[in-house]
Chain A
Amino acid sequence: MKKNILIILLVIIALSLPLFTGTYLLHIFTSIIIFLSLALSWDMMLRTGQLSFGTAGFFGLGAYASVLIVAKLGFNPIMSLLIGAIFSGVIAFGLGFIVLRLREIYFAITTLALTHVFSVIIRNLSDLTGGSSGTQLSNAIFDGDPIKIYYLVLIIGLLVIVLSEVFKRSRIHFAINSIRNDETTAKSSGIDVFKYLLFVFVITSAIQGLVGAVYAQQYAFVNPESTFSLNFLLLPIAMALVGGIYSTNGPIIGALILGLISEYLKLIMPYGHLIVYGVIIVFVVLFLPQGVYKPIKDKFLKSSIVGGDSNAHTKG
């Protein structure tokens, strides 16, 4: 019960944020939610045991699909977000048949190489994509109104959070966890490993495409350098790691912590503020393999057993 109240409270705070913050803070929270969604989608793939480095690639594909369809065919920007998501999803579906046979280091490296391949292809199809200088739209989505953009991003963020929880609670999470823990056992228990992997891969890639589309529409601009930037891979990974992987709350907490820290550092350190992300990744891998969320939660539960009990009761 306590937990539900907390969630409702947080959602209300998120919804009413534009009432009491300025444009600058709203902008920061918009980008935090964008990275939060990417972090969650990366984590959702990781829960199957597959380390994907393709986040930036599908992000970029969605961004390009959305911007080009508005620029060339005159689609409605909101409609184009959906197209961005579908485009990334379809590409992931096609590639999934090939790359999902790979495991561990090979899957990670192949997805990273695919990101490079996407950006090279897009840079060279200059008639369609504008080449290395990119494509610019005449108008940002909602004419660049920060409050409307914030709500749009918030809706997508909530959608991703709900989806991640569905993945954690529905029957599918048994399949996902067992694939991660021991694939051979999963297979011999009758789980169609490939089917589940493909399903998760397509869903997470579509999320990344959707987020990319929103990001591109917000700035009304795509270019191979910035749209396929490895930041869209590194920052979400760092966020998920800091908060704690294999959970929904972890990446959310990580995104808030790192988003605010890096925004602050950007002000005092114009060059190289991203070094914090590197330090945090190394530090977390070495000393906090579970992230910050789980240790805090465990401590909290130990100190107030009543809270833990009532939680268990409502669940049962």
Chain B
Amino acid sequence: MSFSFKNSYKILLLFILFMVVIGIWNPNALLDGLQRGSLYAVIALPLALVLGILGVLNLAHGDFLTVGLYIIYMLNTRFDMDPLVSIVPTVIILAIMGAVIYLLTIKNVIDEGHLSQLLITFGISLILIEGINIIWTSMPRNVYTNYAYAAKEVAGFRFGTYELLYILIAVGVLVGLQLFLKKTRLGQATFAVGQNPKGAKIVGINVNYVYLFVFTLAVAILGVVAGFMLPRTSIFPAVGSPFSLKSFALAAMAGMGNLNGILFAGITLGIGEAAINSIPNYGGWSDIVFFGVLIIVILARSYRGAK
């Protein structure tokens, strides 16, 4: 899980060049893309962690985010709690929920084929979406906070300050995860399980515990993301679903286990999306960026693998 500067300096150079070109062409698109991209990346990080360690592609990933958003919405409307404050209880609730769901379902299919794993997370995703539908109906809901729309003006260029937080969160979560994996004992065990579960078992690592911990952690991180997302998004039962596939697109683009790459991939795709979005009359095509890139990356890898 390392990102060696030496091997990827060309990619890094291209990445910077890409940002500069977009920035000159349309500074708004650059800023918008940075924000979107960081949001995509911070949501994709936990998915990539689960994919890398457990080998399970969690199709319900985005729906756990939706659950987090609704919990924060509920805390806000019932107890008048600020979305950023309610991150703490939400993370705890989500962590418990993630652990229970893992123990009840995914744990039992972890040694089975990909078909069972994909189908079971598909089923969980459906249960979460429809459960929210039953409790809150499909009506879109909003939370208003006065800081979410604060804006600053620098050299005649006006931009929202709140969304810049997304970049900080993305970097923060990434650094936190890297420190955890490298510096703590549990993190090193997790790293070992990701590389070779059988070997890890032989040297005495409790693999089942690591799996449970990683899944719980991944779901809990989504609680943090939800807290920062809610003030700027209107929520409905399927709000998180697209993120599952988009996160997988980022994980596939960065390569398995490359956590730093996800941040770069996320920002690149976010800027690409924002750039297309800003072209008048062709904005609708921006949705194709992720899926197009996902298909191209998967195919490119399969061709390279075949050779």
Contacts and interface: CB of A to CB of B under 8 A. Distances in A.
B126 A281 contact: yes
Nearest to B135: A272
A237 B134 contact: no
Nearest to B241: A230
B124 interface: yes
Interface centre among B132, B285, B288, B303 (most CB of A within 10 A): B288
Given A106-B302, A109-B298, A120-B288, A51 B122 contact: no
A223 B92 CA distance: 41
A110 interface: yes
Contacts of B287: 116, 120
A105 B119 CA distance: 11
B294 interface: yes
Interface stretch (B8-16, B107-115, B207-215): B107-115
Given A102-B298, A105-B57, A275 B127 contact: yes
B189 interface: no
Contacts of A104: 114
Interface in A34-70: 51
Contacts of B172: none
B116 interface: yes
Given A105-B114, A113-B245, A282 B291 contact: no
Nearest to A49: B115
A237 B115 CA distance: 12
Contacts of A273: 130
B248 to A, nearest CB: 6
Nearest to B56: A105
A241 interface: yes
B86 interface: no
A10 B182 CA distance: 64
A120 B284 CA distance: 8
Interface residues of A, number: 38
Interface string A9-37: 00000000000000000000000000000
A272 B284 contact: no
A117 B298 CA distance: 15
Given A101-B302, A113-B295, A278-B125, A120 B285 contact: yes
Contacts of A271: 133-134, 137-138
A158 interface: no
A286 B127 contact: no
Interface in A82-120: 98-99, 101-102, 104-106, 108-110, 112-114, 116-117, 120
A257 to B, nearest CB: 16
Given A101-B306, A109-B294, A237 B122 contact: yes
A121 B282 CA distance: 11
A43 to B, nearest CB: 12
A289 interface: yes
Contacts of B109: 285-286
Nearest to B123: A281
B57 A278 contact: no
Given A51-B115, A120-B284, A271-B133, A106 B123 contact: no
Given A121-B288, A271-B137, A116 B245 contact: yes
Contacts of B115: 51
B127 A124 contact: no
B131 A272 contact: yes
A114 B295 CA distance: 8
B299 interface: yes
A175 to B, nearest CB: 20
B292 interface: yes
B195 interface: no
B120 interface: yes
B122 A281 contact: yes
Given A102-B302, A116-B287, A271-B138, A281 B130 contact: no
B184 interface: no
A113 B130 contact: no
Nearest to A105: B114
A151 interface: no
B105 interface: yes
A155 to B, nearest CB: 31
B118 interface: yes
A237 B116 CA distance: 12
Nearest to A277: B126
B298 to A, nearest CB: 5
Contacts of B124: 278, 282
Interface string B211-254: 00000000000000000000000000000000001001100100
A98 B248 CA distance: 20
A124 B291 contact: no
A74 B105 CA distance: 52
A99 B294 CA distance: 12
Interface of A: 51, 98-99, 101-102, 104-106, 108-110, 112-114, 116-117, 120-121, 123-124, 234, 237, 241, 269, 271-275, 277-282, 285-286, 289
10 contacts: A101-B306, A108-B114, A116-B287, A241-B119, A269-B134, A272-B133, A272-B134, A277-B130, A281-B119, A282-B124
The 3 closest A-B CB pairs, nearest first, are A278-B126, A281-B123, A275-B130
Given A51-B115, A237-B122, 8 more contacts: A101-B299, A104-B114, A117-B292, A120-B287, A271-B133, A275-B130, A278-B124, A281-B119
